[in-house]
Amino acid sequence: MTGEIELSIPVRVDYVQLVRAVVGSLASTNPELSTARIADLRLVISEALTNAIRAQEKNSISERLIVLCKLTDSAIEVEVRDKATGFEVDLIPDLPPTESPERLQHERGLGLSIMREMSDGLEIESGPEGTVVHMTINSQNSNNS
């Protein structure tokens, strides 16, 4: 099955779980996508939505978030769009090494690396008008999960 859906959701944390469920259900209609790949999809979309919600909350922007999903025979592509003020991907600092006591001081900062590792393609376009995160999950994992 192929298809496309667009979700428009309020900037509320309780909607993240709902979006995971809807997108996961769409993905499960493609028999080529394994349970593990659908779990990867649910994780990356959760990360992207979390970032979008945090960004809009930080800037007190209540405009709804847009989630696009496109299912093909060999992959599912998802896109999360927010209307926050954007960020510089290259300026996100690295976390301290795991072995360092300093590591426990950082509760945030894992989302982007999770999206990079779990997806088969990650593109981020960010500017003062907002951010678009585009991710692809192939039915055959090109990463090591």
Partner 1 sequence: MNLEIHRSVEGKNVFLGLIGDLDMAGAPVLRQSIVKEVSQGNIFLVLDFAGVHFIDSSGLGSIIGGLRRVRSNQGNLFLVGVDDELQKIFRLCELDKIFKMDSNRETFSG
Closest separation in Å from C-beta 118 to partner 1: 8
67 contributes a contact to partner 1 by CB under 8 A: no
Q: In the range 36-65, which residues lie near partner 1 by CB under 8 A?
A: 36, 39, 42-43, 46-47, 50, 53
Closest separation in Å from C-beta 67 to partner 1: 15
Q: Tell me how crowded residue 56 is: count the other CB atoms within 10 A of its CB.
A: 21
80 contributes a contact to partner 1 by CB under 8 A: no
32 contributes a contact to partner 1 by CB under 8 A: no
91 contributes a contact to partner 1 by CB under 8 A: no
- Give the DSSP letter string of 11-53: S-THHHHHHHHHHHHHHTT-TTS-HHHHHHHHHHHHHHHHHHH
Which one of 2-10, 60-68, 110-118, 130-138 is the stretch in contact with partner 1 (CB under 8 A)?
Answer: 110-118
Q: Are 61 and 33 in contact (CB under 8 A)?
A: no
Angle at 42 between CA 81 and CA 34, to 5 degrees: 130
User: Can you tell me whether residue 136 is helix, strand or coil?
Assistant: strand
Out of 61, 66, 114, 124, the only residue in the binding site for partner 1 (CB under 8 A) is 114
Residues 6+ apart with CB under 8 A from 27: 33, 37, 38, 41, 71, 76, 137
Interacting residue ranges for partner 1, rule: CB under 8 A: 13-14, 16-17, 20, 36, 39, 42-43, 46-47, 50, 53, 98-99, 103-111, 113-114, 117-118, 145
